[in-house]
Amino acid sequence: MTDFLDPLPWLIMLPLAWGTLAFVLGPGRGGRLAVAAIALQGALALQLAGQLIDSGARVYAVGGWGAPLGIDLMADGLAAVMLLLTQAVALPLAVYARGYFAASPKGRELFWPFTGFLLAALNALFLSADLFNIYVTLELLGLAAVGLVAIAGGRQPVTAAMRYLFATLLGSGAWLLGVALIYGTYGSVSLAVLTPLIHAGAPLAVTLAAALMLAGLLLKTALFPFHFWLPPAHGGAPAPVSALLSALVIKATFYLALRLWLELFAPLTTVAAAQLLGVLGAAAILWGSVLALTQSRLKMLVAYSTVAQVGYLFLLFPLATLVPPGTADSALAGGVMQAVAHGLAKAAMFAATGSMIVATGRDDISRLGGVGARLPLTLFSFGLAGVTLMGLPPSGGFSAKWLLLGSALESGQWWWVVVMIVGGLLTAAYVFKVLRRAFLPRAAGDRVARVPRTLEFSAFALALASILLGLFGAPLLELLAVGREA
């Protein structure tokens, strides 16, 4: 396709351009530009999704060379779903961030350039079909995320950023070693070239590469027991940053793990490895939820909730490996639905949390009294997001867990059902811990200020989207199936 307005390249070029321009404009500038550009990106992602539904998956040869000499981009249903999620989360958060940094300016100077580069990295990662190019997008994503964690300054954020940087660099180092082994074995890094070459009897180097790349991604996705860096990083950053990181950044590495597992390394996957991923996911659900319950700071509670919700994503691996195709399809649909539902709901939850912290002036669950009376819409958004995380109908979280439960029962793996039910109960416990406090009357000496309405409405839009996803999720699943007919 030689159309100047082809959405695919612009989804990467546009955020790079506005991120750079925001830097040139100066400290704290560029918010309006960002909102307009992200809205445009959303339209481009929708246009691309429409193209895919009409005419199937697309390959795009950058520079016109084509793989293996050049770099190919590839857009299929899975990539399009992640692109839609990214722009759908980023737009309300950009509106939110403008209000948030007006009320709480710490860290606003470079927020927009970092966010532009972060979104460019995400879009580029979802579209890339080249292992080395994915490495570059991973580093772009990692450095943007670390920079965002550090923008507020101070001892705790800088410590969290340092720890996050080491984790993310180690993860991409493992990825690059895997890429080196693959290039050294086959002489190419293009996914399209490599996929037919890898079969069950692949050399040891390829098995090692698969293990290293997957381990690096798990570290970056913060799957238990690699979650140590996530709570301080997500819990210490300004609220719009926490929302971007929890909703989108960890999903990107999950997406890569999923792609490798289902496509490139599918001939090498074993039931034992899939069960191990499931066990780590189950441990993450239980451990993350229990720790969320014990937190006294609101943002840390929400950050530990992310550790737990990441666990659900990894239940998809045992449910989709070496099972009948129908079961695997419903597991994949459930896992991707969980990624989308969690992305929307967690962004809403961090946004609502940020509003509560701005209103009360402190990040303390025991001092939330009066929030229910003064910020009803914000608290309602927090509750709606909680409904999605718990997996109650009619939310997107319910659809996700329903699909996962279905494939667990079909494949006779009842133990994951138990984990999901216990996890749902624990989620309810920590969500109600916050709601109960917020409905109490204001304590003497505490203040609860009003917050700008853009803060309340943007959080509500995200929470509402996470619920509506459950009612109108069918088109998304239709899109997901594009390019996946086996």
| Identified binder of another protein from the candidate list 49, 88, 91, 140, rule CB under 8 A | 140
Task: Among 27, 56, 324, 441, indicate the residue that binds another protein (CB under 8 A).
Answer: 27
Residue 357 as a binder of another protein (CB under 8 A): the answer is yes
**CA separation for the pair 381, 345 (Å, rounded):** 9
Q: Which of 84, 95, 146, 191 binds another protein (CB under 8 A)?
A: 146
Regarding 151 and contact with another protein (CB under 8 A), the answer is: yes
Work out whether 70 is an interface residue with another protein (CB under 8 A): yes
Please tell me whether residue 2 binds another protein under the rule CB under 8 A. Answer: yes
Does 240 contact another protein by CB under 8 A?
no
Rounded Cα gap, residues 473 and 437, in angstroms: 33
Q: Which of 138/420 has CB closer to another protein?
A: 138
Closer Cβ to another protein, 90 or 144, answer by number: 144
Ramachandran category for residue 266: left, alpha or beta (phi over 0 → left; psi -120 to 50 → alpha)? alpha
Q: Which residues contact 103 (CB under 8 A, 6 or more apart)?
A: 358, 451, 452, 455
- Provide DSSP, 335-377: HHHHHHHHHHHHHHHHHHHHHHHHHHSS--GGG-TTHHHH-HH
**Which region among 78-86, 228-236, 265-273, 433-441 touches another protein (by CB under 8 A)?**
228-236
Note whether 276 binds another protein by CB under 8 A.
Answer: no
Q: Is 441 in the site for another protein (CB under 8 A)?
A: no
Measured from the CB atom, is 26 or 445 closer to another protein? 26
Residue from 40, 47, 57, 163 binding another protein (CB under 8 A): 163
Contact mark string toward another protein, 83..122, x via CB under 8 A: ---------------------x--x-xx--xx--x--xx-
Q: Residue 71 pairs with which residues in a beta bridge?
A: 62
Q: By C-beta, is 157 or 318 nearer to another protein?
A: 157
- Closest distance of CB 26 from another protein, Å: 7
Nearer to another protein, 123 or 411 (CB): 123
**Residues in Cβ contact with 459 at an 8 Å cutoff, skipping those fewer than 6 apart:** 92, 96, 348, 351, 352, 355, 377, 378, 381, 382
Of the candidate spans 38-46, 230-238, 368-376, 446-454, the one that interacts with another protein by CB under 8 A turns out to be: 230-238
* 366 part of the interface to another protein, by CB under 8 A: no
Query: For residues 114 and 265, which CB has a smaller minimum distance to another protein in the complex?
Result: 114
> Which one of 205, 286, 293, 392 is in contact with another protein (CB under 8 A)?
205
State yes or no: residue 300 binds another protein (CB under 8 A).
yes
Using CB under 8 A as the binding rule, whether residue 144 contacts another protein is answered as yes
Applying CB under 8 A, does 64 fall inside the site for another protein?
yes
Q: For another protein, which residue of 33, 53, 102, 139 counts as binding (CB under 8 A)?
A: 139
Q: Confirm or reject binding of residue 293 to another protein (CB under 8 A).
A: no
248 binds another protein per the rule CB under 8 A: no
Region 464-483 residues binding another protein, contact defined as CB under 8 A = none
Q: Residue 107: name the closest of 151, 159, 148, 143 by CA.
A: 151
Q: Helix 111-127 crosses helix 31-55 at what angle (to 10 degrees)?
A: 10
Residue 59, SS3? strand
Q: DSSP letter string over 112-169?
A: HHHHHHHHHHHHHHHHB-BHHHHHHHHHHHHHHHHHHHHTT-SHHHHHHHHHHHHHHH
Classify residue 34 by burial, with Cβ atoms within 10 Å: 0-12, 13-18, 19+.
buried
C-alpha torsion sign, points 378, 240, 304, 220: positive
Segment holding 261, helix H or strand E? none
* Residues near another protein (CB under 8 A), total: 96
